[in-house]
Amino acid sequence: MHNMNQQGNQQQPGAMPQQQSTNHGGHELFDAHEVIAGIINMLDQYQMYNQHIQDPELKDILQRQTSFVTQAYNTIVQAFQTGQDPNVPTQQYEMQQDNNVVYGIKPGQPKKPNASINDISDQGLSAYMLGNTKSLSSLLAMTALEMTNPVLRRVIADTIPNFIEMSYEIFLYQNKNGYYQVPQLAQQDMQQMLNSYTIVHQGNQLH
């Protein structure tokens, strides 16, 4: 993993790779198309969300994630087309939220669908963003298991933790703003669940 450096090594838009790879299975090609189309869909939707977000902090999250995912898109496309190591390797996304989670449920108004576009709020927009990143996390994980090209498989697999991190960043933003509340079990029930298992000693394993 390396820090982001999106300039300089990017392939020019529309440029064809110097050499195309043919060591792809048919199922892999379909899965790769689904992943790439899903990333395009996320980036397109983020552009729409950006027009309606009011909170500067949420807008900053969206813009940082857009920049990062755009580079991830370029990396995946180049690995897909060439089957070789991409010019810009998989980067590591670093969120800016802390890890503090607020537990408990506070009463609020029941939710319902928006009556018009004017009802769209940062609460809803952050939920849409979380839906995008979570669905892509699952899709990438499922797809990485079906890859035969070793370079593309590694690029897809290495991208999964980044979408997990982006999902966690959005969750933490929602949680601290009361949009995503986290209930807990009663203390006694929690302790019972936590103590439901015990450690296995290595010597007890079959040989």
- pLDDT tens digit string along 127-157? 999 999 999 999 999 999 988 899 999 999 9
Instruction: Tell me if 125 is assigned to some domain.
Output: yes
127: containing domain: 26-106+120-204
Residue 100 in any domain: the answer is: yes
pLDDT at 6: 39
With respect to residue 4, please indicate whether it lies within any of the assigned structural domains: no
User: Does residue 189 fall inside a structural domain?
Assistant: yes
Q: In CATH, what number is assigned to the domain containing residue 64?
A: 1.20.1260
pLDDT tens-digit profile of 17-45? 456 666 777 878 899 999 999 999 999 99
pTM of the model: 0.85
Six-digit token pair at 64?
A: 């940082």
Residues constituting the chain: 207
pLDDT of residue 195: 95
User: Do the domain assignments include residue 19?
Assistant: no
Q: Yes or no: say if 73 and 92 are a contact pair by the CB < 8 Å rule.
A: no
In this structure, is residue 114 part of a structural domain? no
Looking at the domain assignment, is residue 5 inside a domain? no
* Predicted local confidence at residue 8, as pLDDT: 40
The share of the chain scoring above pLDDT 90, in percent, equals: 73
Q: How far apart are the first and last CA of the chain?
A: 37
Q: pLDDT digits over 187-207, tens only? A: 999 999 999 999 988 876 666
Contact of 49 with 35, CB cutoff 8 Å = no
Structural domain count, the chain: 1
- Does residue 13 surpass a pLDDT of 60? no
Q: How far apart are CA 182 and CA 179, in angstroms?
A: 10
Residue 43 belongs to a domain: yes
